[in-house]
Chain A
Amino acid sequence: MRLPFLKRAATFEHGIHPDYHKETGSLPIRRLPFAPRLIVPLSQHIGKPAVCCVSVGQEVLRGQVIATADGFVSLPVHAPATGVVEAIGVMPSASGKMMESITIRVYQADSQAVQVSAPQDIDALDKQALLAAIQATGLSGLGGATFPAHVKLAVPPETPIDTLVVNGAECEPFLTCDHRVMVERTQDLIRGIRIAMKVSGAPRTVIGVEDNKPDAIAAIQAALPADGTITVKALETKYPQGAEDTIIYALLGREIPAGQRPAAIGVLVNNVMTLAYLGKLLPAGEGIVERVLTVAGPAVEKPGNYIVPIGTPLRFLLEQVGARSSAKEIILGGPMMGMTISSLDVPITKGTSGVLAFGKAQLPQETQRVYSCVKCGECLKVCPKFLNPSQMGLLAAKREYEAMAERYNLDRCFECGCCSYVCPSHIPLVQQFRIAKAINREKATS
């Protein structure tokens, strides 16, 4: 007999247990229709923006390159639909900034099959050719960090990787798109992992999945190759299990030295969605023209996981899923780290993992009273980085931003929001830390 309390899933220390609302995890992925117009920003990744290579009035085919990569740390952009280029110019983006974008009027009568592809034999390609092929897919990290996939996989020989960690934790409440992809696209994921291992030179892979997704763990388990180089491990359902520091600690028991990258301890972390798309796109030689994302929240009538063309305006997406008029706040990403948007005219991009619509009832009340810090220490008990948010909050109130960085490791904070989540005084801790970091950055550059 196995005693349930003796078998504990791998995990990190601290963290929180918010309400998960993972109801959409049982719904199969569905396809969203094409919007009449798609707005495709040239910069959907970290690095140099792509360079537009089409002109207004030009017809484009679905999958055709419409902007080319500008150097190594950059990605090309593919036409997400067959249609005609209607405009090239600045358009609103999710961050609030105006961004150079290509607007495509979609041919509604078209079948919208991917028209441009160059299937290739992966086994025949060497490392450099593979990297080039990965860059050509336009794939960035689909978990939200949007770092170009090929740059991450280009491991320099002086820091070899011994383990590829595949992040299937999906610890943010509401989001279930990684979950569905692990269940429905398991073969793509395994293929993507194989490619990533070949490119990065990692001899073994550990896939970490939170234990609230037993069907995903089972599906992966059934698809694992017999050679034992890829394993899957259940993680405790706890936020922020899917952060780089925490998932590496949970799966391997290693700590990333403060201020360094996982490569310093021989680890490479990739998101399941990114690798599943890598496994799907690379052999077919296609570019990324759509992605799976979760649309959920109490103000959504038909929540679920949808395949959404890149560039779909939020307004169109919310009309399709039936956003209730009670919707007050639209969040891109999850509720813990996602950002709200001010305009529904912004497009879905490669990095959008979820769209959540919250009504007034879900939001912290406007009248919510902020008390002074009572030094309960709850924030210290939840901070996954073992920082002292309480003390930093007191310093922030006194505008001692430099002391926060020098004495309390402000820069190690990755803004998971656990401290603000638990604070019984409703002090906007992580919000203050963001401001403090920005001010410190500004001081450093000036």
Chain B
Amino acid sequence: MSMELRTSPHQHSGRDVPTIMRNVVYAMLPICAFSVWQFGLSAAALILVVTASCLVAERINNLIRGTSSSLSDWSATITGVILALTLPPSFPLWMGAVSGFAAIWLGKSLFGGLGQNPFNPALVGRAFVQAAFPTAISTWVPAFSSQRFNEFIPTSLTAPFMTPPDIALWVKQQGIDAFTGATPLARWKFENITPSSMDFLTGHITASAGETSAILILLCGLYLAARKFLDWRIPVAVLGSAMLLAWVFHLAQPLRYPTPSFVLLSGGLMLGAWFMATDMATSPVTPRGIWLYGALIGILTVVIRYFGGLTEGVMYAILIANATASLLDQFNQPRILGGKRGKS
């Protein structure tokens, strides 16, 4: 009998990094499907191109560093899918590819790869293209156009390194009434008009590819929380603090500030709270750190939306909170069993 020597424990839970990451991807598939149903071919192509560019960037990085392939840990896939969902459905595909490379290389590889990145790679990619292509990233198209499964939105197929064509005429031809080309957040900010909650739930709003149905995102997130693939405290803290702050503003000046439910349902808050703020590598691990981190995101989101120059604040809120994550851990080490109270 040949004997193997090892040190305890001799059992393992069986849950590994690829399993967790794969399940996060599964949980995003319904959101992707909804996006494709709403926006048609362009959304499908955008999700595929951005994800593929992330995988290619990851693989190139493996080759440069001479390491074995890290595609099987599924983390690059997550980055790609999340990134695609935060982009406008009309986003030119070549710009999508640029954002994918920026996400992986600037957001992740530069710091040493899996688990080592301080910032959410998908948001780094989005921030990159927000700076590089400010027009394209704020060009919106109506959902449910009649020809969406037959033709691409004209901007999608822009030749690489070319400026996308103006699509105002194309949008007009779609014959969708009351389309303004602005997101609900922008309309609230500049025109003080808010759509009904029902529109948010059914996706009849102008938004990024994956941000239109708050209820679907919520369900997918709840699935991950129930299976313990994400930490439920983060979305609860993000949404709770955003709602609370919005509620205080709304109470003070109901005409000026929107209802808490509008804040909760609009823009990328729901997607960010469940799928981006919860990124393991870039969120704290200590209990108190987690609550503070979530609350920081919620508060920053509302503050940026209300007082900043941008209409949407989730992306920068999460990136700023990412930067504080390790510091939050440092100052909030849990009290050990039998340790002195009031001292970490």
**A interface vs B, CB < 8 Å?**
16, 18-19, 173, 245, 249, 255-260, 323, 325, 327-331, 333, 335-344, 356, 358, 362-364, 368-369, 371-377, 380, 384-388, 390-391, 408-409, 412, 415, 417, 420-422, 424-426, 428, 430-431, 434
Contact = CB atoms under 8 A, between A and B. Distances in A.
Interface string B65-97: 000000001010000000000000000000000
B116 interface: yes
A368 B282 CA distance: 25
B3 A340 contact: yes
15 contacts: A18-B13, A245-B338, A335-B10, A338-B8, A340-B10, A364-B10, A372-B116, A374-B114, A374-B115, A375-B285, A386-B336, A388-B329, A391-B329, A426-B12, A426-B16
A388 B11 contact: no
Contacts of B73: 371
Given A327-B1, A375-B283, A380-B285, A421 B6 contact: no
Nearest to A416: B9
Contacts of A376: 20, 280, 285
A428 B8 CA distance: 9
Interface string B316-344: 00000000000001000111111110000
Contacts of A327: 1
A424 B16 contact: yes
Q: Which 8 A-B pairs have the closest CB atoms?
A: A417-B9, A377-B285, A374-B115, A258-B338, A335-B10, A376-B280, A372-B115, A255-B338
Category for how many chain B residues contact A: 35 or more
B336 A328 contact: no
B15 A424 contact: yes
Contacts of B281: 374-375
Question: Which of A388, A391, A424 has the most B CB atoms < 10 Å from its CB?
Answer: A424
Contacts of B15: 422, 424
A328 B285 contact: no
A364 B12 contact: yes
B23 to A, nearest CB: 11
A173 to B, nearest CB: 7
A344 B1 contact: yes
Nearest to B326: A375
A384 B2 CA distance: 35
A337 B9 contact: yes
A388 B333 contact: yes
Contacts of A342: 3, 5
A386 B337 contact: yes
A103 to B, nearest CB: 22
A372 B4 contact: no
B19 interface: yes
B12 A421 contact: yes
Given A376-B20, A425-B16, 14 more contacts: A258-B339, A325-B1, A330-B3, A336-B9, A336-B11, A338-B8, A375-B285, A385-B336, A386-B335, A386-B337, A388-B334, A421-B13, A424-B15, A430-B9
Contacts of A343: 3
A88 to B, nearest CB: 27
A336 B8 CA distance: 6
Contacts of A336: 8-11
A328 B337 contact: no
Nearest to A264: B338
Contacts of B20: 376, 424
A340 B114 contact: no
A256 B338 contact: yes
B164 interface: no
Contact of A373 (B5, B8, B115): B115
A258 B335 CA distance: 11
B285 A374 contact: no
A249 to B, nearest CB: 7
Interface string B1-44: 11111111111110111011000000000000000000000000
B10 A329 contact: yes
Contact of B4 (A328, A371, A434): A328
Contacts of A422: 13, 15
A415 B286 CA distance: 20
A215 B73 CA distance: 46
B113 interface: yes
Nearest to A389: B285
A422 B15 CA distance: 7
Nearest to A258: B338
A327 B4 CA distance: 9
A340 B6 contact: yes
B66 to A, nearest CB: 16
A377 B288 CA distance: 12
Interface string B132-145: 00000000000000
B276 to A, nearest CB: 15
B58 interface: no
B9 to A, nearest CB: 3
Contacts of B231: 377
Question: Which of B3, B12, B340 has the most A CB atoms < 10 Å from its CB?
Answer: B12
B336 A375 contact: no
A331 B115 contact: no
A384 B337 CA distance: 8
A68 to B, nearest CB: 34
Nearest to A371: B17
A335 B9 CA distance: 6
B7 A335 contact: no
A335 B16 contact: no
A422 B19 CA distance: 13
Interface in B270-307: 280-287, 290
Question: Which of A323, A371, A391, A408 has the most B CB atoms < 10 Å from its CB?
Answer: A371
A208 to B, nearest CB: 17
Nearest to A259: B338
Nearest to B113: A372
